[in-house]
A and B are shown apart, each in its own frame.
Chain A
Amino acid sequence: MSVRRVPRPPTREFALQNGLSVVLAPDPRSPTASVWVWYRVGSRNEHPGITGASHWVEHMLFEGSPRYAKGEIDRAVVSVGGELNAFTDVDFTAYYSTVPREHLGIPLDIESDRMTRALITDEEVARERTVIFSEREGNENWPEFRVEEELYQLAFREHPYRWDALGRRRDIETMSAEQLRSYYRRFYGTRNAVLVVAGGFEPGAIAHEIRRRFGPLGASGEDVAVRDVEPAQRGERRAELTGPGTTPYLQVGFRAPALEEPATPATILLDTILGGETRLFSIGSAWGRSSEHPSSRLYRGLVDPGIAVRATSEWRPRRYPGLFTVQAQAAAGVSLDRLERAVLRLLERLATDGPSREEIEESRTKIRRATLLAYEGASRTAFRLGYFSVLRSPRLEDEIFSDLLRVTARDVRVRAAELFRAEQRTVVRYRPVREAGRG
């Protein structure tokens, strides 16, 4: 089956006078409705001293407002069987609730309230500090997190992509409630938000309801553009960490284009050829990302010969230039040096010889098929629409998709040669320490 366009559900889009963008995707058959608010605010808008502020504000937006006392937001949604949560990225923050369709008014009320009226009290900030620490500590237990944090810190010197969305330890220790309130007042508001509603509702009535609830909010939200420009990398950077773990592990990162650059389609294909799938168009998303892709280059080059137990690549779509990474976990008994040599050799070969026509076709097929079921269910529909909307608009997906179908093997080879240059490479290796009695 040949898929020529993304089978996206019909949407109705409009903006309120206060700048709030709205995307509606009604599906009369859906038993649920999903409400997402995406803010164009993420850790990129922080600076040293307040790293982790976006994530902390995300937590605080569940902790009370004049209309919802502490705990009442959770209670209002969960008590009707709904689910709610939020997440923070470097480029954006998203808050969502999915509820049985007859309760759609609840999340709309919550989101219109906390967009500008969250309390963020000293007392709650103090209590939440240890929760945030705990979240960070849970991540620190994983070598993969420690390596990735080090990788971005090394690869970026100026740009705020240098720190993780969780924030630095010392900033979590010292950030004050007033700093969080100030950050919230500065960036959170209608001008920096996209509201997406998908599922079972009548669009006319909901559009009216949205205007009634969000219309009275004043236009707010300062410019979120990042002025810092990361200078070009002029030489390889590397680090080696040690700690508890299983087998040697490494991540190699290369400076990669921003989402809206012309190089994006070829980069997506390169990611698919190397690692077997790509974040924007992944077949397995209903069941979680598939872990094994035996036909991918990394699998054939590292896992098949017994050098690694797993290996993947990842290009994350970013508003500003980010990283293209390759991650590999060695098989027991394989050294870091051998693992790294194998990874670099494989990338070099792709940059020199390019992919085969068969690989291009296979990757295109994967991407085409992945779009088929990408919009199943209200929650996934609202997620996907919101994701592309917060980066630009739902049509961004169509543009990338149609460009992808035109990428040639030569384009991918040229892209690989531009990307995998030694001078713009950052390598972080993880050497597990030997522990007594770990069995």
Chain B
Amino acid sequence: MAEPREPLRLEYLPPVDGLTVVRQAPPASAGSFAATYVGPAGWGFDPPGEGGMARLVSQLVTVAAGPYDRVALARRLDRAGATLTRQCAPESSEVTVWGPADEWEELLGLLALVVLKPRFDPADLRHVRRQLVERQLREATQPAQRAERELLKGIFPTGHPYATTGLGSPQTLRQLTRERLVRFHREHYTSGGGLLVVTAPARGGTIAAVARRRFTGFDRATGPALRPGPRRSGGRGYREVDLPGRSQVDVRLGGPSIARGDPSFPAAFLANEMLGGRPLLSRLFQRVRERGGLAYGASSELEAMRLGGYWVAAAGTGADRWKKVVPMLQQELRRLREVVASPSELDLVRESAIGEIPLSLESTAEAHELAVDAGYHGLPEDHWLRWPEVLRGVRPNEVRDAARTAFGEAGSVTVVVGPVGAPDRKSRARR
């Protein structure tokens, strides 16, 4: 049966036609299985003038495949007690199947089917296109989503893979034909440049054999490579978008950041945890919410991808309070870049991040996320086992130095979206 269970230790299995295959044991008390295919199919690959392509394909892949139309596929999953989910990002697209561990082989076959043989039925295309048009409207009208869009547009110049949220426009979506989608799928859901992560109660050899049997027939063994886009030069940007009739103002500060493979990533990771990544302990949460009482949430993120990344500090606050919140976020960023944190603050955040690892082993779903992350970035098999030691090796001055680059001021942007123009009339819809 299974080899000794150590979910934090991954196992790289022999590639299948260039497809990287990673095996992870599920947590001891878990009864479920998960597998994810990650392909070089993110919206950074959208051809010029065809915005929305990657997202459209990503959604359609999980709708219908092989002999299963959308109803039959849904019923198949229901019968197994399984789910099929997808995630599209700038660099890649993921498809994940999750279900009972005793059906892992069948379900892995189903994952292979949707990845290799999506149907792209015309009716499904019409339906998914309608959904994306509605999401575009949501992105234009919802302060939180609009703020994210404006932020990325502000940080990265047009043509950069991270410059958009990948939704395209009604025009670009309209012109995406089935043929174009099929072609994008063929070129981007590939074995080469692709990754398969399997969290199942089976030996590596068994998983490798099943993967070899199921994941054959990719149209291409070589995946496309994403080229880093140009960087905006210097300066800082500021953008205010007045959306009357809303209650909350969404504030975002952000800028270009480092790639996951950057040697300073562990220190930058801790800088983010200290700033706003560890919500209850972080400086932003403490200052904006706990001491200031100015917002329900204040947090930060470090999106470190393969080619590069970006940082974001965010808060949602009232129309009468955002002018106090923006300088607070700016001050905390400045402090992060300029002042070396006390050893006790760093220890608190670091030990919290380390102590959290067992929580990731509560369920297969959570453990699996760690494996996908490590596999995608090509991290060593014992990466998560060594992670505590790596974090403990980071010194306070290294955190500050990393913050100067990973949370740099150059090229940063401040975006404020919501009822910023007429706070006293916020309950009435205008325009």
Listed in ascending order, the chain A residues whose CB lies under 8 Å from chain B are 27, 29-32, 70-71, 74-75, 78-84, 98, 100-101, 103, 126-138, 140-142, 242-247, 276, 283-284, 286-287, 290, 292-295, 300, 303-304, 306, 309-310, 329, 331-332, 362, 365-366, 368-370, 372-373, 376-380, 432-436, 438-439
Contact = CB atoms under 8 A, between A and B. Distances in A.
B328 interface: no
A436 B83 CA distance: 40
Given A130-B293, A131-B293, A243-B245, A141 B361 contact: no
Nearest to A431: B429
Contacts of B286: 71
Contacts of A132: 296
Given A283-B78, A376-B30, A379-B362, A130 B429 contact: no
4 closest Cβ pairs, A-B complex: A81-B355, A369-B81, A377-B362, A246-B137
13 contacts: A82-B359, A101-B358, A128-B293, A131-B294, A137-B248, A141-B142, A141-B247, A243-B245, A286-B32, A286-B363, A287-B365, A331-B134, A370-B81
Contact of B71 (A138, A245, A295, A439): A295
A294 B74 contact: yes
Given A433-B245, A438-B137, A27 B29 contact: yes
Given A293-B74, A306-B130, A31 B358 contact: yes
Given A141-B247, A286-B83, A436-B431, 6 more contacts: A70-B290, A284-B83, A286-B365, A304-B123, A309-B131, A377-B363
Nearest to A438: B140
B269 interface: no
B246 interface: yes
Nearest to B347: A79
B79 interface: yes
B127 A303 contact: yes
A103 B286 CA distance: 24
B98 interface: yes
B105 to A, nearest CB: 15
B238 to A, nearest CB: 19
A29 B361 CA distance: 11
B177 interface: no
A279 B317 CA distance: 31
A78 B355 CA distance: 8
Contact of B141 (A27, A78, A138, A245): A245
B359 A83 contact: yes
A129 B355 contact: no
A134 B248 contact: yes
B126 A79 contact: no
Contacts of B317: 134, 137
B295 A131 contact: yes
Interface residues of B, number: 79
A254 B374 CA distance: 48
Nearest to B286: A71
A350 B96 CA distance: 34
B52 to A, nearest CB: 14
Greatest chain B CB density within 10 A among A141, A293, A432 is at: A141
Given A137-B318, A141-B143, A287 B355 contact: no
A78 B83 contact: no
Interface string B272-292: 000000101100001001100
Interface in B341-378: 348, 351-359, 361-366
Nearest to A63: B290
A301 to B, nearest CB: 13
Given A83-B359, A130-B318, A74 B280 contact: yes
A80 B280 CA distance: 13
| Chief secondary structure at chain A's binding surface | mixed
Given A131-B293, A303-B127, A81 B357 contact: yes
Contact of A81 (B98, B353, B365, B429): B353
B138 interface: yes
A140 B247 CA distance: 6
A287 B34 CA distance: 11
A29 B29 contact: yes
B80 interface: yes
A347 B361 CA distance: 43
B278 to A, nearest CB: 7
B44 interface: no
A414 B288 CA distance: 54
Contacts of B63: 292, 294
Interface string B69-111: 0110111001111110100000000001011100000000000
A332 B126 CA distance: 12
B70 A294 contact: yes
B336 interface: no
A79 to B, nearest CB: 5
A332 B134 contact: yes
A74 B349 CA distance: 12
A306 B137 CA distance: 17
Contacts of A304: 123, 127
Contact of B359 (A27, A100, A127, A128): A100
Contacts of B247: 136-138, 140-141
A71 B286 CA distance: 9
Contacts of A27: 29
B253 to A, nearest CB: 18
A378 B329 CA distance: 36
Contacts of B78: 283, 295, 362, 365-366, 369
Contacts of B297: 134, 138
A78 B75 contact: no
B40 interface: no
Nearest to B127: A303
Nearest to A75: B281
Given A287-B365, A369-B79, A439-B169, A80 B352 contact: yes
B141 A435 contact: yes
Contacts of A306: 126-127, 130
B114 to A, nearest CB: 14
A99 to B, nearest CB: 8
A247 B359 CA distance: 40
Given A31-B27, A306-B127, A141 B248 contact: yes
Contacts of B431: 433-436
B128 to A, nearest CB: 10
A31 B286 CA distance: 29
B316 interface: yes
Contact of B290 (A71, A303, A362): A71
A68 B281 CA distance: 15
B31 interface: yes
Given A286-B98, A286-B365, A373-B32, A79 B348 contact: yes
Contacts of A75: 280-281, 348
B359 A32 contact: yes
B293 A246 contact: no
A75 to B, nearest CB: 7
A332 B138 contact: no
A137 B294 CA distance: 12
A247 to B, nearest CB: 6
Contacts of B31: 372-373, 376
B28 interface: yes
B321 interface: yes
B359 A380 contact: no
A290 B83 contact: yes
Contacts of B29: 27, 29-30, 376-377
Greatest chain A CB density within 10 A among B78, B98, B278 is at: B78
Contacts of A126: 293
B116 interface: no
